């Protein structure tokens, strides 16, 4: 899926006087600063003799100079001077002397890149609306997973959460309702639909409600008792103890006394609970919106971007939200919780010839269908 805007790099990671190199969608890209200070991107290999532009310097505003023979490019990739040959160089203006440039846009401190063959689509079709909303606070983190982008994204609304995350701080700090939500739903999954050909969401976009003690009436799915009995295991129970259940009562007590204001934050169905093309997973926690966006690095590695969106009403709340993110949330959600996914996903053999799906894999399967049937193709422009 090349014909999309993808998150690429934090604006603050790009220095003033030199470039920085990143592998994105299997290509080497150099980021540096344009005339206005904005982050711009070129193909990293110098068209002259393929030196790495990321080793070069930015001697003149809005340019980068190749470290080898000094070919100097502006932010559009046009070769402007050949410092090694001097001002009389006949190379400038020659066909093929320019470097390929990639369109970029920076929103909320995050640089997005278009690496498609076709004309760039409107960025708001690919990037969540809060990035264009002056009132929102969007905090983000970036990780690198040693996994192909598809398995990196596909651990979605299937049956893994109950098992993989059972000892995460996120699960252990839930109250009774939260724990009930994270309990397995059995083999069924609620129905999904495709919105505007760009997103796969649950028909009831609000069934995942941590506040609601009666979630099952929203999904018509019976939830399991905390411990279930497995005849195939000689009647053994799993989970093997009720420790987590007891803990959830304590957490419920604490949470009721530390209650934060909550309300649904995502108004636009297209960006609600589900996954949006190309690779953004969304979850409205009512205190913040959680998103996970995957940018393929190459066939075997992925960049994972986490967005945390909120709408703090006062500067003090803004500060509190930021501090909480830096000191606690980023670790709790993206290292402790998602680290459990990372550990599994990095070892998945996605090149195996076949998988044998269960009914609870309906969501990742529906996502594959969304990609095959609805993703933008280069020739569609």
Residues 6 or more apart whose CB falls under 8 angstroms from that of 283 comprise 208, 273, 289, 290, 291
> Does the protein bind ligand FES through residue 66 (CB under 6 A)?
yes
Task: Pick one of Fe ion, ligand FES, none as the site partner of residue 311 (Cβ within 5 to 8 A by kind).
Answer: none
Judged by CB under 6 A, does residue 51 bind ligand FES? yes
Closest approach of ligand FES to the CB of residue 70, in Å: 6
Q: Kindly tell me which residue out of 27, 57, 68, 212 binds ligand FES, with binding defined by CB under 6 A.
A: 68
Is residue 57 near ligand FES by the rule CB under 6 A?
Answer: no
Of 44 and 279, nearer to ligand FES (C-beta) is: 44
Partner touching 49 among ligand FES, Fe ion, none, CB below 5 to 8 Å by kind: ligand FES
Judged by beta carbon distances under 5 to 8 A according to partner kind, the member of ligand FES, Fe ion, none in contact with residue 364 is none
> What is the token pair recorded at 60?
């003149």
Q: Quote the least distance from Cβ 65 to ligand FES, whole Å.
A: 8
Asked whether 115 and 109 are in contact (CB, 8 A), the reply is no
Q: Closest CB to ligand FES among 69 and 318?
A: 69
- Partner that binds at residue 51, options Fe ion, ligand FES, none, CB closer than 5 to 8 Å by kind: ligand FES
CB of residue 31 to ligand FES, shortest distance in Å: 18
Residue 49 as a binder of ligand FES (CB under 6 A): the answer is yes
Minimum CB separation of residue 161 from ligand FES in Å reads 50
Alpha carbon 205 to chain centroid, angstroms:
20
Among the candidate windows 69-77, 143-151, 253-261, 340-348, which touches ligand FES by CB under 6 A? 69-77
Residue 296 Cβ, how far from ligand FES at the closest point, in Å?
27
Q: Which of 130, 284, 341, 361 binds Fe ion (CB under 5 A)?
A: 341
The partner in contact with residue 341, picked from Fe ion, ligand FES, none with C-beta cut-offs of 5 to 8 angstroms by kind, is Fe ion
Taking CB under 6 A as the rule, does residue 73 contact ligand FES?
no
Is 69 an interacting residue with respect to ligand FES (CB under 6 A)?
A: yes
The interface partner of residue 69, options being ligand FES, Fe ion, none and the CB cut-off 5 to 8 Å by kind, is ligand FES
Give, as ranges, the residues between 154 and 183 that touch Fe ion (CB under 5 A).
155
Nearest approach, Cβ of residue 15 and Fe ion (Å): 35
Query: Which one, 90 or 351, has the nearer CB to ligand FES?
Result: 90
Please, are residues 212 and 283 in contact by the beta-carbon 8 Å criterion? Answer: no
In the complex, what is the shortest distance from the CB of residue 111 to ligand FES, in angstroms, rounded to a whole number?
Answer: 24
- 81 binding ligand FES? (CB under 6 A): no
Residues 29-48 binding ligand FES (CB under 6 A) are: 46, 48
- 3-class SS letters over the chain: CCCCEEEEEEHHHCCCCECEEEEECCEEEEEEECCCCCEEEEECECCCCCCEHHHCECCCCCEEECCCCCEEEECCCCEEEECCCCCCCCCCCCCCCCCCEECEEEECCEEEEECCCCCCCCHHHCCCHHHHCCCCEEEEEEEEECCCHHHHHHCCCCCHHHHHCCCCHHHHCCCHHHHHHHCCCCCCCCCEEEECCCEEEECCCCCCCCCCCCCHHHHCCCCCCCCEEEHHHCCEEECCCCHHHHHHHHHHHHHHHCCCCCCCCCCCHHHCCEEECCCEEEEECCCCEEEEEEEEEECCEEEEEEEEEECCCCHHHHHHHHHHHHHHHHHHHHHHHHHHHHHHHCCCCCCCCCCCCCHHHHHHHHHHHHHHHHCCCHHHC
Examine residue 183 and tell whether it contacts ligand FES (CB under 6 A).
Answer: no
Residue 318 contacts residue 137 (beta carbons within 8 Å) = yes
Nearer to ligand FES (CB atom), residue 46 or residue 275: 46
Centroid of chain to Cα 189 = 23
Summarize as ranges the residues that interact with ligand FES (CB under 6 A). 46, 48-49, 51, 66, 68-71
């Amino acid at each position: 899926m090349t014909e999309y805007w993808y998150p690429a790099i934090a604006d603050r990671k790009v220095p003033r006087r030199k470039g920085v190199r990143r592998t994105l969608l299997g290509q080497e890209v150099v980021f540096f600063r344009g005339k206005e200070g904005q982050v711009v991107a070129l193909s990293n290999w110098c068209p002259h003799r393929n030196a790495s532009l990321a080793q070069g310097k930015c001697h003149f505003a809005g340019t980068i100079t190749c470290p080898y023979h000094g070919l100097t490019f502006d932010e559009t990739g046009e070769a402007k001077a050949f410092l090694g040959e001097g001002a009389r160089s006949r190379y400038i203006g020659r066909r093929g002397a320019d470097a390929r440039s990639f369109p970029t846009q920076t929103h909320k401190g995050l640089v997005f890149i278009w690496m498609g063959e076709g004309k760039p689509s409107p960025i708001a079709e690919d990037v969540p609306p809060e990035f264009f909303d002056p009132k929102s606070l969007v905090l983000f983190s970036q990780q690198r997973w040693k996994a192909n982008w598809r398995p990196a994204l596909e651990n979605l609304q299937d049956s893994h959460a109950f098992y993989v995350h059972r000892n995460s701080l996120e699960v252990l700090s839930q109250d009774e309702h939260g724990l009930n939500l994270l309990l397995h739903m059995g083999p069924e999954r609620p129905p999904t639909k495709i919105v505007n050909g760009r997103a796969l969401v649950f028909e009831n976009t609000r069934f995942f409600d941590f506040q609601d003690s009666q979630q099952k009436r929203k999904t018509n799915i019976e939830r399991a008792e905390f411990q279930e009995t497995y005849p195939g295991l000689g009647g053994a129970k799993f989970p093997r103890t009720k420790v987590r259940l007891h803990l959830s009562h304590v957490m419920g007590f604490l949470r009721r006394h530390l209650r934060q204001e909550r309300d649904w934050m995502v108004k636009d169905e297209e960006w609600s609970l589900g996954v949006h093309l190309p690779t953004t997973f969304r979850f409205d926690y009512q205190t913040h919106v959680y998103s996970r966006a995957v940018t393929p690095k190459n066939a075997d590695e992925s960049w994972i971007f986490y967005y945390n969106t909120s709408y703090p009403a006062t500067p003090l709340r803004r500060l509190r939200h930021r501090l909480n993110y830096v000191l606690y949330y980023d670790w709790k959600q993206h290292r402790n919780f998602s680290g459990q996914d990372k550990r599994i996903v990095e070892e998945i053999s996605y090149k195996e010839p076949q998988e044998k799906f269960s009914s609870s894999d309906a969501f990742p399967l529906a996502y594959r269908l969304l990609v095959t049937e609805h993703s933008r193709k280069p020739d569609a422009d």
